[in-house]
């Protein structure tokens, strides 16, 4: 079952840059071999015959990994991964924001509200105050953090 979600409200756009990362893995140590970087459970590489050993394997990652930040933001926010190091962070708080007059969480309940330029400004302000600590942590982890107001559609 795939749910189609339309989010309307303030959110964080966080961008990180591509970086080379490495992890330890039992693999063919010949870096030009096609099996280098694949986990091998045998003593010698079946392709090139090089001894299989524990070694560092490089892979492409991003400077900030959202799954590592989930605990950092204390579950008060959740994310959706976009393309090329761009992640979207939303409020995970179900409490009604008094200033905005509604919750920023995409819940099961239907919410009706008028969308006005004034409301957008007020909600961005309220969102930034509500999540000041989390936004600061995201700013430390990512290269670029922006608070926007908009409409986002995604599947989960």
CA distance 150 to 12: 10
Q: Return the beta strands (E) in the chain as ranges.
A: 4-15, 18-28, 52-62, 77-81, 86-91, 144-155
In the complex with Zn ion, the residue whose CB is nearer, 31 or 111, is 31
- Give me Rg for the CA atoms of the chain: 21
Q: Which of 30, 38, 80, 86 binds Zn ion (CB under 5 A)?
A: 30
Residues in 134-153 at the binding interface with Zn ion, rule: CB under 5 A: none
35 binding Zn ion? (CB under 5 A): yes
| Region of 6-14, 45-53, 85-93, 116-124 interacting with Zn ion (CB under 5 A) | 45-53
Residue for token digits 């939303």?
90
Q: Which of 8, 25, 48, 147 binds Zn ion (CB under 5 A)?
A: 48
What angle is formed at CA 143 by the lines to CA 128 and CA 69, rounded to 5 degrees? Answer: 65
40 binding Zn ion? (CB under 5 A): no
In the complex with Zn ion, the residue whose CB is nearer, 47 or 148, is 47
**Where on the chain is the footprint of Zn ion (CB under 5 A)?**
28, 30, 33, 35, 45, 47-48, 50
């Amino acid at each position: 079952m795939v749910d189609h979600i339309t989010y309307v409200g303030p959110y964080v756009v966080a961008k990180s840059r591509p970086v080379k990362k490495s992890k330890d893995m039992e693999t063919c140590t010949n870096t030009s071999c096609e099996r280098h970087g694949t986990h091998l459970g045998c003593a010698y590489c079946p392709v090139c015959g090089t001894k299989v050993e524990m070694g560092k394997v490089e892979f492409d990652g991003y400077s900030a990994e959202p799954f590592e930040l989930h605990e950092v933001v204390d579950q008060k926010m959740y994310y959706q991964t976009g393309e090329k190091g761009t992640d979207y962070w939303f409020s995970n708080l179900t409490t009604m924001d008094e200033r905005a007059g509604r919750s920023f969480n995409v819940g099961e309940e239907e919410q009706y509200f008028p969308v006005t330029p004034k409301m957008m400004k007020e909600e961005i302000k309220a969102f930034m105050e509500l999540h000041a600590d989390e936004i600061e942590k995201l700013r430390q982890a990512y290269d670029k953090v922006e608070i926007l107001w908009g409409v986002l559609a995604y599947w989960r």
